[in-house]
Amino acid sequence: MKLNIKVREIMKGKLYETLIGTDARLAITISGEELKEFVEDVMADARLRAESEIKAKQSEECIDKEEVKTLLRVCDTTLWKWAKRGKLVPQKVGSRNIYRKSDVLAVLRGEK
């Protein structure tokens, strides 16, 4: 039996979930144009996800190193040690280190 199902329909439908959950072997024959469409769809989805992650990070409030030192009552050396240990890692913006406010608050609350 030959099924004529577009790859896009397989990936977005329940058939994909069903096939992934099995050990069945599956051979799919697609044209070059269908492969191109599929790759373009996957890339568009990945691009949208990346853009939304970037927007979320950009919208998060950040504070500079001096504010962090004041809030946490620590010195440069402590911030450097915490960065090395992964406790409070700064983001580089040009030559400046900035910190996510949510990360600083987590350290204040003892969550990190």
pLDDT of 99: 94
* Partners of 63 in beta bridges: 99
Find the DSSP H helices in 25-100: 32-59, 65-72, 76-85
pLDDT at 3 over 60: no
Residue-wise pLDDT tens digits, 65-74 = 999 999 999 9
Give just the sign of the alpha carbon dihedral 69, 74, 77, 82: negative
- Confidence band for 76, pLDDT divided at 50, 70 and 90: very high
Residue-wise pLDDT tens digits, 8-64 = 566 566 666 666 667 777 777 778 888 888 888 888 888 888 887 777 666 678 899
pLDDT at 77 over 80: yes
pLDDT at 1 over 60: no
- b (16+ CB within 10 A) / e for 46-59: eeeeeeeeeeeeee
- What pTM does this model have? 0.48
